[in-house]
Protein backbone atom coordinates (compact mmCIF):
# COMPACT_ATOMS: atom_id res chain seq x y z
CA UNK A 1 0.00 0.00 0.00
CA UNK A 2 1.34 3.39 -0.92
CA UNK A 3 1.56 5.99 1.82
CA UNK A 4 -1.15 8.66 1.85
CA UNK A 5 0.11 11.69 -0.07
CA UNK A 6 0.34 14.94 1.85
CA UNK A 7 -0.91 17.83 -0.23
CA UNK A 8 -1.02 21.55 0.52
CA UNK A 9 -4.55 21.10 1.89
CA UNK A 10 -3.18 19.03 4.75
CA UNK A 11 -1.17 22.03 5.94
CA UNK A 12 -4.26 24.10 6.55
CA UNK A 13 -4.36 25.99 9.87
CA UNK A 14 -6.76 23.52 11.49
CA UNK A 15 -4.03 20.87 11.26
CA UNK A 16 -1.17 23.00 12.57
CA UNK A 17 -1.57 21.57 16.11
CA UNK A 18 -1.17 18.07 14.66
CA UNK A 19 1.98 19.06 12.80
CA UNK A 20 3.32 20.69 15.97
CA UNK A 21 2.87 17.39 17.79
CA UNK A 22 4.80 15.63 15.00
CA UNK A 23 7.66 18.12 15.32
CA UNK A 24 7.75 17.73 19.10
CA UNK A 25 7.56 13.97 18.65
CA UNK A 26 10.60 14.02 16.36
CA UNK A 27 12.58 15.68 19.15
CA UNK A 28 11.22 13.41 21.88
CA UNK A 29 12.11 10.28 19.87
CA UNK A 30 15.79 11.23 20.26
CA UNK A 31 15.70 11.54 24.05
CA UNK A 32 16.97 8.88 26.51
CA UNK A 33 14.53 6.05 27.26
CA UNK A 34 14.20 7.14 30.88
CA UNK A 35 13.03 10.58 29.74
CA UNK A 36 10.66 9.07 27.18
CA UNK A 37 9.04 6.94 29.89
CA UNK A 38 8.73 10.00 32.15
CA UNK A 39 7.12 12.05 29.38
CA UNK A 40 4.78 9.15 28.63
CA UNK A 41 3.66 8.85 32.25
CA UNK A 42 3.00 12.59 32.29
CA UNK A 43 0.93 12.34 29.11
CA UNK A 44 -1.07 9.49 30.66
CA UNK A 45 -1.74 11.47 33.83
CA UNK A 46 -2.91 14.46 31.80
CA UNK A 47 -5.30 12.32 29.73
CA UNK A 48 -6.57 10.67 32.93
CA UNK A 49 -7.45 14.04 34.42
CA UNK A 50 -8.68 15.71 31.22
CA UNK A 51 -10.74 12.99 29.54
CA UNK A 52 -13.76 12.03 31.61
CA UNK A 53 -15.09 9.89 28.76
CA UNK A 54 -11.97 7.73 28.44
CA UNK A 55 -11.66 7.47 32.21
CA UNK A 56 -15.28 6.35 32.47
CA UNK A 57 -14.81 3.70 29.76
CA UNK A 58 -11.70 2.40 31.51
CA UNK A 59 -13.44 2.29 34.88
CA UNK A 60 -16.38 0.34 33.42
CA UNK A 61 -14.17 -2.13 31.56
CA UNK A 62 -12.04 -2.88 34.60
CA UNK A 63 -15.09 -3.20 36.84
CA UNK A 64 -16.56 -5.76 34.45
CA UNK A 65 -13.38 -7.74 33.86
CA UNK A 66 -11.95 -7.61 37.39
CA UNK A 67 -15.03 -7.49 39.66
CA UNK A 68 -13.12 -8.78 42.71
CA UNK A 69 -10.84 -5.74 42.98
CA UNK A 70 -11.32 -3.49 45.97
CA UNK A 71 -12.20 0.14 45.31
CA UNK A 72 -8.62 1.15 46.10
CA UNK A 73 -7.16 -1.52 43.80
CA UNK A 74 -9.57 -0.59 41.03
CA UNK A 75 -8.70 3.11 41.21
CA UNK A 76 -4.97 2.35 41.24
CA UNK A 77 -5.29 0.06 38.22
CA UNK A 78 -7.24 2.70 36.28
CA UNK A 79 -4.55 5.30 36.94
CA UNK A 80 -1.71 2.94 36.10
CA UNK A 81 -3.37 1.88 32.85
CA UNK A 82 -3.46 5.52 31.73
CA UNK A 83 0.23 5.90 32.54
CA UNK A 84 1.09 2.77 30.57
CA UNK A 85 -0.95 3.87 27.56
CA UNK A 86 0.69 7.30 27.81
CA UNK A 87 4.11 5.69 27.64
CA UNK A 88 2.92 3.66 24.66
CA UNK A 89 1.81 6.80 22.83
CA UNK A 90 5.21 8.41 23.34
CA UNK A 91 7.40 5.38 22.70
CA UNK A 92 5.72 4.66 19.34
CA UNK A 93 7.52 7.82 18.17
CA UNK A 94 10.76 5.81 18.29
CA UNK A 95 10.09 3.54 15.28
CA UNK A 96 7.84 6.09 13.55
CA UNK A 97 10.08 9.17 13.72
CA UNK A 98 13.51 7.78 14.58
CA UNK A 99 13.60 4.43 12.75
CA UNK A 100 17.41 4.17 12.72
CA UNK A 101 17.58 4.11 16.51
CA UNK A 102 18.45 0.53 17.43
CA UNK A 103 16.65 -0.72 20.53
CA UNK A 104 17.06 -4.44 19.86
CA UNK A 105 19.47 -4.82 22.80
CA UNK A 106 16.64 -3.75 25.11
CA UNK A 107 14.31 -6.56 23.99
CA UNK A 108 13.91 -10.07 25.35
CA UNK A 109 12.24 -12.33 22.79
CA UNK A 110 10.53 -15.61 23.59
CA UNK A 111 9.27 -18.18 21.10
CA UNK A 112 10.66 -16.59 17.96
CA UNK A 113 11.31 -20.10 16.65
CA UNK A 114 7.53 -20.53 16.45
CA UNK A 115 7.23 -17.67 13.97
CA UNK A 116 10.21 -18.85 11.96
CA UNK A 117 8.76 -22.36 11.80
CA UNK A 118 5.37 -21.03 10.71
CA UNK A 119 6.93 -18.94 7.95
CA UNK A 120 8.79 -21.97 6.60
CA UNK A 121 5.45 -23.59 5.75
CA UNK A 122 5.14 -20.95 2.98
CA UNK A 123 1.42 -20.67 3.60
CA UNK A 124 1.54 -17.22 5.06
CA UNK A 125 1.21 -16.64 8.80
CA UNK A 126 -1.50 -14.84 10.75
CA UNK A 127 0.00 -13.10 13.77
CA UNK A 128 -2.91 -12.39 16.08
CA UNK A 129 -2.16 -9.47 18.35
CA UNK A 130 -3.98 -7.28 20.82
CA UNK A 131 -3.73 -3.66 21.87
CA UNK A 132 -1.19 -4.00 24.61
CA UNK A 133 0.35 -0.72 25.72
CA UNK A 134 3.76 -1.60 24.27
CA UNK A 135 2.65 -2.05 20.68
CA UNK A 136 4.48 -0.20 17.90
CA UNK A 137 7.80 0.02 19.73
CA UNK A 138 8.18 -3.73 19.11
CA UNK A 139 7.78 -3.42 15.32
CA UNK A 140 11.52 -3.38 14.41
CA UNK A 141 12.22 -6.54 16.39
CA UNK A 142 9.09 -8.26 15.11
CA UNK A 143 9.98 -7.53 11.49
CA UNK A 144 13.51 -8.83 11.92
CA UNK A 145 12.23 -12.41 11.81
CA UNK A 146 10.88 -12.40 8.26
CA UNK A 147 8.59 -10.74 5.73
CA UNK A 148 5.76 -9.26 7.80
CA UNK A 149 2.92 -6.89 6.94
CA UNK A 150 0.26 -5.38 9.17
CA UNK A 151 -3.38 -4.41 9.11
CA UNK A 152 -4.55 -1.16 10.64
CA UNK A 153 -7.56 1.11 11.01
CA UNK A 154 -7.46 4.35 9.02
CA UNK A 155 -7.54 7.64 10.92
CA UNK A 156 -9.68 10.59 9.89
CA UNK A 157 -6.94 13.06 10.78
CA UNK A 158 -4.75 13.18 7.63
CA UNK A 159 -1.61 14.04 9.60
CA UNK A 160 -2.01 11.11 11.96
CA UNK A 161 -2.92 8.86 9.03
CA UNK A 162 0.25 9.87 7.22
CA UNK A 163 2.33 9.40 10.36
CA UNK A 164 1.04 5.96 11.31
CA UNK A 165 1.28 4.57 7.79
CA UNK A 166 4.71 5.97 6.89
CA UNK A 167 6.00 5.18 10.39
CA UNK A 168 4.98 1.54 10.11
CA UNK A 169 6.25 1.30 6.54
CA UNK A 170 9.73 1.89 7.95
CA UNK A 171 9.64 -1.80 8.88
CA UNK A 172 6.51 -3.59 7.65
CA UNK A 173 6.53 -4.55 3.99
CA UNK A 174 2.93 -3.42 3.57
CA UNK A 175 0.56 -1.46 5.78
CA UNK A 176 -2.95 -2.53 4.83
CA UNK A 177 -6.21 -0.86 5.80
CA UNK A 178 -8.46 -3.43 7.47
CA UNK A 179 -11.12 -3.26 4.71
CA UNK A 180 -8.63 -4.25 1.98
CA UNK A 181 -9.10 -7.99 2.33
CA UNK A 182 -7.92 -8.81 -1.20
CA UNK A 183 -4.50 -7.37 -0.43
CA UNK A 184 -4.43 -9.24 2.87
CA UNK A 185 -5.16 -12.54 1.15
CA UNK A 186 -2.50 -11.77 -1.46
CA UNK A 187 0.08 -11.37 1.30
CA UNK A 188 -0.77 -14.75 2.77
CA UNK A 189 -0.61 -16.47 -0.61
CA UNK A 190 2.84 -14.95 -1.10
CA UNK A 191 3.95 -16.69 2.09
CA UNK A 192 4.18 -13.50 4.15
CA UNK A 193 3.08 -13.00 7.75
CA UNK A 194 0.50 -10.39 8.64
CA UNK A 195 -0.24 -8.85 12.05
CA UNK A 196 -3.62 -7.62 13.11
CA UNK A 197 -5.39 -6.84 16.36
CA UNK A 198 -8.27 -9.21 17.09
CA UNK A 199 -9.42 -7.55 20.29
CA UNK A 200 -11.51 -4.56 19.22
CA UNK A 201 -15.25 -4.24 18.74
CA UNK A 202 -16.01 -3.76 15.04
CA UNK A 203 -19.74 -4.34 15.39
CA UNK A 204 -22.02 -7.34 14.96
CA UNK A 205 -21.74 -7.64 11.17
CA UNK A 206 -18.29 -9.23 11.12
CA UNK A 207 -18.37 -10.70 14.62
CA UNK A 208 -19.77 -13.40 16.82
CA UNK A 209 -20.52 -13.05 20.53
CA UNK A 210 -18.00 -14.96 22.62
CA UNK A 211 -17.01 -14.65 26.28
CA UNK A 212 -14.25 -12.21 27.16
CA UNK A 213 -13.73 -12.20 30.91
CA UNK A 214 -17.09 -14.02 31.10
CA UNK A 215 -18.86 -11.18 29.30
CA UNK A 216 -20.41 -11.56 25.84
CA UNK A 217 -18.17 -9.56 23.52
CA UNK A 218 -18.43 -9.02 19.77
CA UNK A 219 -15.39 -10.95 18.54
CA UNK A 220 -14.30 -10.72 14.93
CA UNK A 221 -14.21 -14.00 13.01
CA UNK A 222 -11.69 -12.82 10.40
CA UNK A 223 -8.96 -14.94 12.00
CA UNK A 224 -10.73 -18.17 11.12
CA UNK A 225 -11.71 -16.99 7.65
CA UNK A 226 -8.23 -15.80 6.74
CA UNK A 227 -6.62 -18.97 8.03
CA UNK A 228 -8.89 -21.11 5.84
CA UNK A 229 -8.07 -19.16 2.66
CA UNK A 230 -4.53 -20.51 2.36
CA UNK A 231 -4.36 -22.97 5.25
CA UNK A 232 -2.23 -20.38 7.05
CA UNK A 233 -0.88 -21.17 10.53
CA UNK A 234 -1.92 -18.82 13.33
CA UNK A 235 0.18 -17.67 16.27
CA UNK A 236 -0.50 -15.19 19.06
CA UNK A 237 1.81 -12.29 19.92
CA UNK A 238 1.94 -10.37 23.19
CA UNK A 239 4.39 -7.74 24.41
CA UNK A 240 5.18 -5.88 27.61
CA UNK A 241 7.50 -3.20 28.97
CA UNK A 242 9.55 -3.06 32.13
CA UNK A 243 9.74 0.61 33.10
CA UNK A 244 12.22 0.04 35.93
CA UNK A 245 14.74 -1.82 33.77
CA UNK A 246 13.94 0.20 30.61
CA UNK A 247 13.37 -2.97 28.62
CA UNK A 248 10.65 -4.70 26.62
CA UNK A 249 9.73 -8.31 25.97
CA UNK A 250 7.73 -10.00 23.24
CA UNK A 251 6.27 -13.50 23.26
CA UNK A 252 5.29 -15.64 20.26
CA UNK A 253 2.92 -18.50 21.05
CA UNK A 254 3.16 -21.90 19.45
CA UNK A 255 1.15 -22.43 16.28
CA UNK A 256 -2.47 -22.79 17.37
CA UNK A 257 -3.63 -26.38 17.21
CA UNK A 258 -6.90 -27.36 15.54
CA UNK A 259 -7.38 -23.83 14.28
CA UNK A 260 -9.59 -23.07 12.55
CA UNK A 261 -11.78 -25.76 14.04
CA UNK A 262 -14.72 -25.31 11.68
CA UNK A 263 -16.73 -23.69 14.45
CA UNK A 264 -16.44 -19.88 14.51
CA UNK A 265 -17.65 -19.70 18.09
CA UNK A 266 -15.03 -22.11 19.40
CA UNK A 267 -12.35 -20.27 17.45
CA UNK A 268 -13.47 -16.93 18.91
CA UNK A 269 -13.38 -18.41 22.41
CA UNK A 270 -9.83 -19.64 21.85
CA UNK A 271 -8.63 -16.24 20.62
CA UNK A 272 -10.31 -14.42 23.51
CA UNK A 273 -8.74 -16.82 26.01
CA UNK A 274 -5.30 -16.10 24.57
CA UNK A 275 -5.89 -12.36 24.82
CA UNK A 276 -7.16 -12.71 28.40
CA UNK A 277 -4.09 -14.70 29.38
CA UNK A 278 -1.86 -12.06 27.80
CA UNK A 279 -3.65 -9.27 29.66
CA UNK A 280 -3.47 -11.10 32.98
CA UNK A 281 0.33 -11.05 32.84
CA UNK A 282 0.23 -7.26 33.20
CA UNK A 283 -3.36 -5.94 33.49
CA UNK A 284 -2.35 -2.26 33.44
CA UNK A 285 -0.59 -2.66 30.10
CA UNK A 286 -3.73 -2.95 27.99
CA UNK A 287 -5.89 -0.43 26.15
CA UNK A 288 -8.82 -0.45 28.56
CA UNK A 289 -10.02 2.94 27.30
CA UNK A 290 -11.38 1.21 24.18
CA UNK A 291 -15.12 0.38 24.30
CA UNK A 292 -14.55 -3.37 24.12
CA UNK A 293 -18.20 -4.12 25.00
CA UNK A 294 -19.77 -1.46 22.77
CA UNK A 295 -21.86 -3.92 20.75
CA UNK A 296 -24.33 -5.80 22.93
CA UNK A 297 -26.46 -8.85 22.20
CA UNK A 298 -30.06 -8.07 21.29
CA UNK A 299 -31.96 -6.97 24.35
CA UNK A 300 -28.93 -5.98 26.43
CA UNK A 301 -28.37 -2.33 27.33
CA UNK A 302 -25.10 -0.46 26.83
CA UNK A 303 -22.66 -0.92 29.67
CA UNK A 304 -21.23 2.55 29.12
Q: Count CB neighbours of 254 within 10 A.
A: 13
Q: Quick one: pLDDT at residue 4?
A: 56
What pLDDT does residue 233 have?
98
Write down the pTM of the prediction. 0.93
* pLDDT band of 204, cuts 50, 70, 90: confident
Residue 3 has pLDDT above 70, yes or no: no
Is the model more confident about 4 or about 278? Answer: 278
Of residues 8 and 200, more confidently modeled:
200
pLDDT at 160 over 80: yes
pLDDT of 1 > 70? The answer is no
* Residue 5 binned pLDDT confidence (cut-offs 50, 70, 90): low
Q: Which of 123, 268, 140, 95 is nearest to 193 (CA)?
A: 123
Say how far apart CA 160 and CA 154 lie, in whole Å. Answer: 9
pLDDT at 7: 62
Mean pLDDT score of the chain, rounded to an integer? 95
SS3 163: helix
Whole-number CA gyration radius for the chain: 19
d(CA 215, CA 30): 42
Digit-coded pLDDT (tens) for 238-284? 999 999 999 999 999 999 999 999 999 999 999 999 999 999 999 99
**Residues forming a β-bridge with 251:** 110, 238
Task: Tell me the per-residue pLDDT of 273-299, one tens digit each, with 9 for 90 and over.
Answer: 999 999 999 999 999 999 999 999 999
* Residue 2, pLDDT above cutoff 70: no
Please, are residues 265 and 220 in contact by the beta-carbon 8 Å criterion?
A: no
Residue 112's nearest CA partner among 124, 123, 120 is: 120
Q: Give the mean pLDDT of 73-95.
A: 98
Amino acid sequence: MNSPKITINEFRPSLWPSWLIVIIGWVVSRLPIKVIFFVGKTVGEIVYRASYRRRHITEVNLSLCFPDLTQTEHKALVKESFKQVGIGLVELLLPWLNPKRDLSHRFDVYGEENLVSALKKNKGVIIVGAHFAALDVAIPVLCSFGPIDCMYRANRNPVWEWLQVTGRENFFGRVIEREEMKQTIRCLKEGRAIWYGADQDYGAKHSIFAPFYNIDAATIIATSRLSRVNDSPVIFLRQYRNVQEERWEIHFSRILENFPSGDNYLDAVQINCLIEDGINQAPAQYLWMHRRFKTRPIGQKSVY
